[in-house]
Amino acid sequence: MNKLKMASEKSASRVLMLLSQLERLNEEPKVSDNDAIRQTTGKILHLIQTQEKTRKEVASKSSGGMEIILSSLENTQDLQTTLNILAILNELLTVGGGCRTGVFVSKGGTALLLQLLVGSSKDPPANEELMLHIHSLLVKVGLKDRKLGVKARLNGALNVTLNLVKYNLQNHKLLLPCLQVLRVYSSNLVNAVSLGKSGTLEIMFEIIGPFSKKSTTLLKVALDTLASLLKSGMNARRAVDRGYLPTLLTIYQDWHRNDTRHRHVVIRKSILGCIKNLTNIKLGRKAFIDANGMRILYNTSTECLPVRTLDPLVNTSSLIMRKCFPKNRLPLPTIKSVFHHPLLHIPASGPVAKLYNQPPGVDDVVDESDENEATEVDTENDTEYDEDETGPKTQNDDIETDINKLRPIQMNTRPFDELRLNHFFLSFDDDFESPRSVIPPSSVNSELHRPIIIPTTPSSLGPQNRRPPQEDLLTPKPDESPLELDSISISKRPEGTSDPDLVCSLGRLVLDAGVNGGSVDGPQDEGGEQAVLEVPDTAALLPLHDPDLYLEMVKSTRSVPAYTEVGYPDYFGHVALNLREPILERVYGVQRMKIFQDIERLIHPSDILDKVVYDLDNQSCPVTDNGESLKFNSKFESGNLRKAIQVRKFEYDLILNSDINSNHYHQWFYFEVGNMRPGVRYRFNIINCEKSNSQFNYGMQVLMYSVQDAINGSPHWVRTGSDICYYKNHFSRSSIAAGGQKGKSYFTLTFTVTFQHKDDVCYFAYHYPYTYSMLKMHLQKLSALRTAQIYYRQDDLCVTLGGNSCPLLTITAMPGSSSNDPISQFRSRPVVFLSARVHPGETNSSWVMKGTLEYLMSCSPQAQSLRESYIFKIIPMLNPDGVINGNHRCSLSGEDLNRQWQNPNAELHPTIYHAKSLLQYLRATGRTPLVFCDYHGHSRKKNVFMYGCSIKETVWQTNVNTSTCDLHEDLGYRTLPKLLSQMAPAFSLSSCSFVVERSKEATARVVVWREIGVQRSYTMESTLCGCDQGKYKGLQIGTSELEEMGAQFCLALLRLKRFTSRLERHNHNSHLLDMETDLIETRSIPNITSPTTYVLEEDEPAFLEEVDYSAESNDEIDPDLEPDLQDNHAPQTPILTQT
């Protein structure tokens, strides 16, 4: 310790000389030196108290002052010296802030203080000044030393401080620092348990009490200590047993009443903090309800609402109320889909097997054990966790780290001949000369001749008209209720008949498929007073749409519920809006307001109607109709409303049907509403959503289609709704539907709508609907666009489980002539393989596909050039059954088809099985596609972007020590996304990722990459919401932007071709990818990870609103405060990712 050279210099200050003196005394301790040390330390103290300069000198590293002082503290047995030194330290640490405290901690000061504390407590009574000094220092240390709590416990200091608190309740001078230290101690969960056992809770309740302007600092510290202690389940239970919860509520009310000028919001917040932690346990929640806590917090919060500065109180109250809100049962007999499709072959394991093996009579809506106190996870386990013991958190653990699983494999599991047989695959030799006529999609089940009914105006939905469709036709009832004057009627003449056999009576449009030529719906006889309205003429605007053709297509579409009605929007068609629809700005406090309205259901139960107005589980519903309720319907293609309950006069809870052969996946919705009053604000709540967050929280609106508007010339789906938010609700979700996890809840999507017209019929949808029948109609129209130059062929890839055909298209250019050269060029064109809509709820992918198809069939020179460059193999809808039946994610097998690519089953997953066979065939014949892209929609991100596959980028992300240098990988996979980012305004390169995740190993993208060997294998994700960059920044996405995206994708392929052909000229043997690298700016390659780092599922910022939108009402541990502990409890549910 020779740092005191300065002291010998002329400029040496007095304090440095004193330190030097002290250092010498430390080195040769003699009993007689006590006086000297006492004097020296006294002088240093004096200097420090009077001159800031000396404080700096002592604390500076070069002086070594801190070491000398601590060393003296360690060595001395003299009380006065100790006091001097502690006073010096207090002075030093008070002014210098964190930096000096940091030095103190790093030199072992904490342990020294704790040892001193414990040592001097051994012969009571302890010196008060000494205790004051030690605790004042510990308070400061606590700010810097995160391990103080653990160190205190290990040194046996917890009870020393606790006893000081206990015996000095009236001595505020000493009580405050001791209490502050206790607060630090109790922030460690193990300490909290130990302190609780020693009676700390009881002592805290002696300190806290009703409103008083005195000792508010002390009170605040006591409350915070209490709140920390109550994080332990054991302490919380103890507190509930002692009846502290009602006490806290009373205290809170007292402060609420008396703190009229809001000077003590922090104290009020702290009281709520205690209640919040107490209600983490079930017993606490029960005590809260029993003590009338809901009403108390509801009323106080309502009074706080007008004062913005009281928001923290309202928000915490709201959090507590949400937690304590009794869990409700979803009002359903079962969460299994209402409709059932029997499977010939039931998979041996997995969700479907589970569903089928569920014993009959089991209640799958709620967990039986939910109310069982024994299931709680808190209590004695508290002691097992300590902040020392938590392991490092592994991030991104979904990334594939097994290098062998990233290398290409060849798995031609099926013999070539079989592949060939299955796929009447283009042998290009004979086919191009006489392009075959299109197989009309309807031919698959053209034997179906059933009436098609288009539901419409409110009156049509009355109970008297809710008849099975056959009945509609065959037995018209003469005693129908009289027509309402303002009902809409549509008259339309289907082809081939002069009689209007497409008639809407009482708003219901009935199409007789031609069997019973003139048959009409019963009430039509009385239709004299109906307004006859024409179908909007959209032919000019929608070249691919034709209402008649649409109905034709619907006839051959097979749905599980055997739908006979048609949604008006699908029949009329949707014309993209010209105006811009900005991303909705969220109103402050909207979620809170909605939650308060939900809580009012509990507070004012008499206001609640609870009237079921639509129920697929009960066909006789609705029983009564007083004209006061909205009328719902979704019995048409892609519709999926299961139940509607009128909660209040203008508020409805809606429940979505599960995917068929499944008990969950609720997100997509499509339904019809009628009998509305114009100008009234209706609140709709979809109460069984499952995702933990949604773009509805970030500006996305629902889509609405007004039939009145359509008839009046505005056939648009329009973004609509205000007060939109998405939050966790109080309907419990059974573990059967939550991946085995208990205590989960559903989420509510709420939106408010004001209807413009009386007697309108409006449709609501999650996103722009695009039905299977619509696809068939579009394909028929597209095939008519063929010219002599265009090769267009439509085949059936296979028939689905539901008996529908899965169309497969081939589009390219006809060879220029039949001479040898053009034909060989024709044969050597690279294949581009595209698919979409494997996930039925991602209708945006169909709109993008429509854009692609329209572009490919257009006559522009670029389109011709594109056709001359490639052969396109396109499966525009990989999951027709899912689309038809209103599923969100699965096929009729109840499985996510985009997780079946590794091993598709011909019976269960025919479209995937045959699509993969086709790809295998292409590979086997040396025509491995240049590009594969599967179009999807993304519900939680903005913009359009791509996921691709790269070994290197995957390995780099994992930081696994693999030598990546020997991995050869072309960068060609980056070219297309890069081109798209330059060309397509909605596309965002920074959202792209080329990392291969474990959870995605059975997706089309990864399997086509690994097994088929397509280097450019992508998933293209389009937002359901809107864009936050580029030309469409701040706007919600519409169908024209999606279609544009599909067209831009084609143009990007054309540019890709230019790169590749330039290269072919150059040296046809070399990798065409080298050339592409130019495009990717070689300089950026070493940093290639930066633009496309591993993309997490959610990239939205945390919610601006303070209320925790996902507050887990059953959390035993506050997730914000104990993240590590939470990890130890249970494995997280696998997040269903959206690819």
Nearer to Zn ion, 521 or 842 (CB): 842
Size of the site for Zn ion (CB under 5 A): 3
Binding piece for Zn ion, criterion CB under 5 A, among 151-159, 754-762, 841-849, 994-1002:
841-849
Binding piece for Zn ion, criterion CB under 5 A, among 118-126, 574-582, 602-610, 836-844:
836-844
Binding piece for Zn ion, criterion CB under 5 A, among 322-330, 378-386, 839-847, 954-962:
839-847
Cβ–Cβ under 8 Å, residues 226 and 267: no
Nearer to Zn ion, 17 or 1136 (CB): 1136
Nearer to Zn ion, 797 or 836 (CB): 836
CA atoms 137, 142, 147, 148: torsion sign: positive
CB of 1038 to Zn ion, least distance (A): 20
Nearer to Zn ion, 361 or 1134 (CB): 1134
Closest residue by Cα to residue 657 from 566, 776, 559: 559
| Pairing mode, strands 611-615 and 805-813 | unpaired
Binding piece for Zn ion, criterion CB under 5 A, among 353-361, 635-643, 928-936, 968-976:
928-936
With tokens 């060029």, the residue in question is: 825
Cβ–Cβ under 8 Å, residues 807 and 775: yes
Nearer to Zn ion, 4 or 836 (CB): 836
Residue 361 CB coordination number (10 Å): 5
Enzyme catalytic residues: 1021
Nearer to Zn ion, 570 or 1021 (CB): 1021
Binding piece for Zn ion, criterion CB under 5 A, among 202-210, 267-275, 678-686, 831-839:
831-839
Measure the CA–CA gap between 1108 and 725, rounded to whole angstroms: 12
Does residue 1005 interact with Zn ion by CB under 5 A? Answer: no
CB of 1001 to Zn ion, least distance (A): 16
CB of 226 to Zn ion, least distance (A): 48
CB of 1138 to Zn ion, least distance (A): 5
Nearer to Zn ion, 565 or 934 (CB): 934
Would you state the structure tokens that stand for residue 17, as one six-digit string?
């000389």
Does residue 889 interact with Zn ion by CB under 5 A? Answer: no
Nearer to Zn ion, 63 or 667 (CB): 667
Closest residue by Cα to residue 1008 from 846, 1115, 1111, 875: 875
Measure the CA–CA gap between 247 and 210, rounded to whole angstroms: 10
Reduced to 3 states, what is the DSSP secondary structure of residue 157? coil
Burial letters 151-190, b for 16+ CB under 10 A, else e? ebbebebbbbbbbbbbebeeeeebbbbbbbbbbbbbbbbb
Cβ–Cβ under 8 Å, residues 684 and 752: yes
Would you state the structure tokens that stand for residue 647, as one six-digit string?
């909660």
Reduced to 3 states, what is the DSSP secondary structure of residue 1021? strand
Nearer to Zn ion, 480 or 842 (CB): 842
Beta bridge partners of 875: 835
Binding piece for Zn ion, criterion CB under 5 A, among 576-584, 616-624, 832-840, 979-987:
832-840
Measure the CA–CA gap between 931 and 826, rounded to whole angstroms: 18
Cβ–Cβ under 8 Å, residues 165 and 204: no
Nearer to Zn ion, 162 or 1024 (CB): 1024
Q: What amino acid is encoded at 266 in this protein?
A: V
Closest residue by Cα to residue 763 from 799, 694, 716, 828: 716
CB of 891 to Zn ion, least distance (A): 13
- Binding string to Zn ion for residues 782 to 801, with x set by CB under 5 A, is what? --------------------
CB of 896 to Zn ion, least distance (A): 9
Question: Interhelix angle for 98-106 vs 109-120, to 10°?
Answer: 70
The tally of CA atoms less than 13 A away on the side-chain side of residue 53 is 6
Among 100, 691, 839, 899, binds Zn ion (CB under 5 A): 839
Measure the CA–CA gap between 1095 and 511, rounded to whole angstroms: 49
CB of 93 to Zn ion, least distance (A): 57
What is the DSSP track for 868-921? HH-EEEEES-S-HHHHHTT-SS--TTSS-GGG-SSS--TTT-HHHHHHHHHHHH
Would you state the structure tokens that stand for residue 408, as one six-digit string?
């290409």
CB of 768 to Zn ion, least distance (A): 16
Edge-to-edge strands, sheet with 805-813: 790-799, 805-813, 871-875, 831-836, 931-938, 1016-1023, 944-947
Binding piece for Zn ion, criterion CB under 5 A, among 639-647, 674-682, 800-808, 933-941:
933-941
φ, ψ at 791 (rounded to 5°): -95, 120
CB of 934 to Zn ion, least distance (A): 8
Nearer to Zn ion, 478 or 1134 (CB): 1134
Question: In the window 40-79, what residues touch Zn ion (CB under 5 A)?
Answer: none
Cβ–Cβ under 8 Å, residues 531 and 420: no
Helix (H) or strand (E) holding 718: strand 717-720
Query: Phi/psi zone of residue 520: left (φ > 0), alpha (ψ -120 to 50 degrees), beta?
Result: beta
CB of 993 to Zn ion, least distance (A): 15
Among 269, 664, 666, 936, binds Zn ion (CB under 5 A): 936
CA atoms 636, 639, 645, 650: torsion sign: negative
Q: Cis bond leading into 622, ω under 30°?
A: yes
Nearer to Zn ion, 84 or 1003 (CB): 1003
Binding piece for Zn ion, criterion CB under 5 A, among 67-75, 833-841, 973-981, 1119-1127:
833-841
CA 232 to chain centre: 30
Measure the CA–CA gap between 377 and 582, rounded to whole angstroms: 46
Measure the CA–CA gap between 557 and 803, rounded to whole angstroms: 8
Nearer to Zn ion, 937 or 985 (CB): 937
Does residue 927 interact with Zn ion by CB under 5 A? Answer: no
CB of 810 to Zn ion, least distance (A): 25
| 8-state DSSP, 851 | H
CB of 486 to Zn ion, least distance (A): 42
Binding piece for Zn ion, criterion CB under 5 A, among 229-237, 359-367, 760-768, 834-842:
834-842
CB of 852 to Zn ion, least distance (A): 17
Residues that bind Zn ion (CB under 5 A): 839, 842, 936
